[in-house]
Amino acid sequence: MLKGASLFLVWKGQNYRVTRDADLPGFGNPDVEQLADLFREICRVEFQSDGVIYLPESLSAEEIREDQVYDGVRITCRYAQSGPDSTPG
């Protein structure tokens, strides 16, 4: 389930800002290394090219909001665009 700025499109019919993240709800105690391994595995899945190549070796994970009611894990991963005008992101 996506939330956050993507809901503006549903509610108002237009985006108010471009989002560069996805908020994914979870349950239980998040294990940072387990989640990092899971997302690296997802990044390695091969499928028909959509113009984006994720770079699993660049993936990092860190705990966020440790002292609040809802904790979380921030996962970041670089990517590259495939095609004639490829630019890493």
Position 88 pLDDT exceeds 60: no
Secondary structure (DSSP) of 3-62: -TTHHHHHHHSS-SS----------S---HHHHHHHHHHHHT---S--SEEE-GGG-EEE
Max avg pLDDT among 55-59, 72-76, 85-89 = 55-59
pTM of the model: 0.67
CB proximity list for 51: less than 8 A, separation 6 or greater: 81, 82, 83
pLDDT tens across 1-23, in order? 445 566 667 777 766 666 677 77
CB atoms within 10 A of CB 34: 11
